[in-house]
Structure 1
Amino acid sequence: MAKPNFGGLDYVKFIAAILVIANHTGPLLSYHANADFLISGILTRIAVPIFFMTSGYFFFRKQTGEQANDSKAWLGYMKKIGKLYGIAILLYIPLNVYTGYFKENFSAYSFFKDIVFDGTFYHLWYLPALIIGITITYFLYKKISLTSMLAIAGLLYVIGLLGDSYYGLIENTGGIKPLYDGMFSVFDYTRNGLFYAPIYLVLGAWAAKHPPKHARKPVVYASLFLLSLALMFAEGILLKSWELPRHDSMYVFALPATYFLFQWALLWKGKSGKAFREWRVWIYILHPIAIVLVRGAAEVINLESIFIANSLIHFATVCLLSVVMAAVAVKVSDIKFKLRS
């Protein structure tokens, strides 16, 4: 069996970070709304699953079955993600103030909801979702088999689907809808650490603990990925035409698409450096700031027609600025680490 090539995963995660920017900017929106939906409403929805699956893969690779070691790995991971989340929250306080976050319907309860589930800025939900998801899957892993974990995580995902892209199926049901109304009083979306993250984290754990027994050619995984992606496009188009989604974050065929892309990426040849790996994290965290800066600068120099109205140029500019900001953030972190050492 070929040795896993983690450089491929680094490249996929970098592409996924760019897809997140696409989701938040709509690169084709000024050209054709339906074409943009295919990109920002469907294709980009494999980005976060890739983040979750790779996180699950690397986390569970470190799980040896030795209680002290496993507990230490989990606590260390929680500390790492918690610290990153805390930094991200602080970074976005100025924008929170600017957008009126602390004025409009703000309360201790709404703040608690945002910290635990929704994030204090629209993209920060991912970090508490990762914390909750890793915690759920870690403790399940200690008690039950991976097969049972897949079943439980799959059930949670189905519950999440019915509150997201398949919401129209339960919207007019007397018995189920009130349950979802209750859930939505606690969090805004089901794409969170309870219903969305676990299945992809478990898929990552499965890939770590049950690698394929027989080596497969990259073309096999590439073909399976493209087939799954085509089915995901069909799923997204049909759901939209039937007006079922409450939100369009969760798709059934995102599961095989993510899994096969992951397995394909393990076979990619090439290496990546530590800085490149860390860029992805900061691109994700900083890109909303880049969006604000691009829009603000365009208004100041009266070039809104180019850098805002033209969605593709807007997207490309935000991507470029996000990468530059991420590179600076990584460099600053390295300098601080060297000074402490």
Structure 2
Amino acid sequence: MERSNYNLIDLLKYICAILVVAVHVNPLKDLSEWANFVVINIFGRVAVPFFFVCAGYFIANNLKKRGDVYIKDYMISLMKTYIIWSIIYLPFGILWVQSNLDIPIILYPIALIYAFFNVGTFYHLWYVPALVFSVLVTFFYTKKFSLRSLFIWSLILYTIGAAETYNAYLDPALQSIVASYMGIFFTTRNGLFYGMIFVVIGFIAAQDNWLTRFKKNGLAFFICFSMLIFEAFRMYNTDGYDFNFLFMLVPLSYFMFQWARAVNYHRDCRKLRDLGSLYYFTHVMFIELIPMGLGLIHQKQLFDSGLFRFVSVMLCTHGLSMLITMIRKFIKHRQLSTQ
């Protein structure tokens, strides 16, 4: 496949990274509850499933080209990145534990070790352990069993995980079970219940079968997105924990990826893709640091404005991401010049 077929995917990954920022800052909440809902719980909920599908697809493709050795190289690279960002966010994680968990300080190391392997040392880092789990399960499972059967199992697990979103529709006994689970594990948004189905979809997208040769991906994507809007508004004002588990995200993520893959978009968007990845990892520190800085000059109330939150966080995030990009280029140039 030509590089141009991935350009729109790269652009969409960049847009999705910005949507993740929007989800975390509620940019329109003080202006319009309804508009904010549309941004974060319809458009914003598409982002992370798309990331998982993209990861699954490109991993499956590279496994075809390089064989099983690729999975080792990929995991080493991913874990290096995760460890670096986990260390950077460790102070924020400790502050969160102090503010939200009533546990003795001697148990902090246990809490942080648990967080590292499950939800991340800070809340946005959950994606990496979820991706690691999903990829490894998919890789080893498909050594002996079919991808189709894993899709069925992962769909069942996704349905179980959806209890946190569809909590209002459960009977009281099940609600009690969900509440107990959430009290211990905080969320079902992890590799087992959430990430795996989208990674599997990415693996499916990398296969050459009747489904991947389907020609109406754009139309199917539009229909799925329309149904996602209906599902989201059907859940509006219900007593769920969040809107992570919308069922239409499953088919939508597949057709969105296949549509983007089929469009022959000619602008090279790899730089935007790389910026988007940095946006994802860096933006949360500014959600924490900006109000602290404003507090020093007695202007913390500015951060109460959703638009101010979004613009200020995005500007700082973009600035730091560009700086990291330039540092990487400088280091790479120095390494090449010394060879």
Bigger helix fraction: 2
Provide TM-score, normalisation by structure 1: 0.87
- 1:1-341 alignment to 2 at 5 Å? 5-64=5-64, 69-99=66-96, 101=98, 104-105=102-103, 107=107, 108-162=109-163, 164-170=164-170, 172-173=172-173, 177-178=176-177, 180=178, 183-184=181-182, 187-210=185-208, 214=213, 216=215, 220-243=216-239, 245-266=240-261, 267-272=263-268, 274-301=270-297, 304=300, 307-341=302-336
**In 2: Cα distance, 1:213 partner to 1:282 partner:** 31
Counterpart contact for 1:168–1:246, Cα < 8 Å: no
**In 1: Cα distance, 2:184 partner to 2:305 partner:** 38
Counterpart contact for 1:78–1:131, Cα < 8 Å: yes
Report the residue type matching 1:317 in the other structure: S
**In 2: Cα distance, 1:155 partner to 1:167 partner:** 16
**In 2: Cα distance, 1:184 partner to 1:54 partner:** 29
**In 2: Cα distance, 1:82 partner to 1:188 partner:** 23
Q: Tell me how far 1:185 sits from its aligned partner.
A: 6.0
1:195 counterpart SS class? helix
Q: Tell me how far 1:182 sits from its aligned partner.
A: 6.3
Counterpart contact for 2:10–2:270, Cα < 8 Å: no
Please give the root-mean-square deviation of Cα atoms over the aligned residues, in Å: 2.7
Counterpart contact for 1:42–1:236, Cα < 8 Å: yes
Report the residue type matching 1:85 in the other structure: Y
After superposing the two structures, state which structure 1 stretch, 315-324 or 271-280, moved more. Answer: 271-280
**In 1: Cα distance, 2:162 partner to 2:68 partner:** 31
**In 1: Cα distance, 2:158 partner to 2:305 partner:** 37
Counterpart contact for 2:158–2:197, Cα < 8 Å: yes
Structure 2 gap ranges (5+): none
Distance 1:173 1:100, change over 3 A: closer
Distance 1:83 1:230, change over 3 A: same
Report the residue type matching 1:75 in the other structure: K
**CA distances 1:57-113 after superposition (whole Å, capped 9, x unpaired):** 000012239xxx533111111111111110111111232344454985262442232
Q: Tell me how far 1:250 sits from its aligned partner.
A: 1.1
Report the residue type matching 1:325 in the other structure: L
Report the residue type matching 1:58 in the other structure: F
Count of residue pairs brought into register by the alignment: 330
**CA distances 1:107-147 after superposition (whole Å, capped 9, x unpaired):** 24422321111111011101110111111111112112221
Counterpart contact for 1:29–1:311, Cα < 8 Å: yes
1:125 counterpart SS class? helix
**In 2: Cα distance, 1:210 partner to 1:186 partner:** 42
Q: Tell me how far 1:9 sits from its aligned partner.
A: 0.7
Distance 1:49 1:300, change over 3 A: same
**In 2: Cα distance, 1:233 partner to 1:242 partner:** 15
**In 1: Cα distance, 2:3 partner to 2:272 partner:** 21
**In 1: Cα distance, 2:314 partner to 2:70 partner:** 33
Identity of aligned residues (%): 26
Report the residue type matching 1:138 in the other structure: F
Counterpart contact for 2:205–2:212, Cα < 8 Å: no
Distance 1:148 1:13, change over 3 A: same
1:316 counterpart SS class? helix
1:63 counterpart SS class? helix
Structure 1 gap ranges (5+): none
Provide TM-score, normalisation by structure 2: 0.87
Distance 1:139 1:125, change over 3 A: same
Counterpart contact for 1:43–1:233, Cα < 8 Å: no
Q: Tell me how far 1:241 sits from its aligned partner.
A: 3.3
Distance 1:237 1:72, change over 3 A: same
Distance 1:81 1:104, change over 3 A: farther
**CA distances 1:164-183 after superposition (whole Å, capped 9, x unpaired):** 21123345126x854x4664
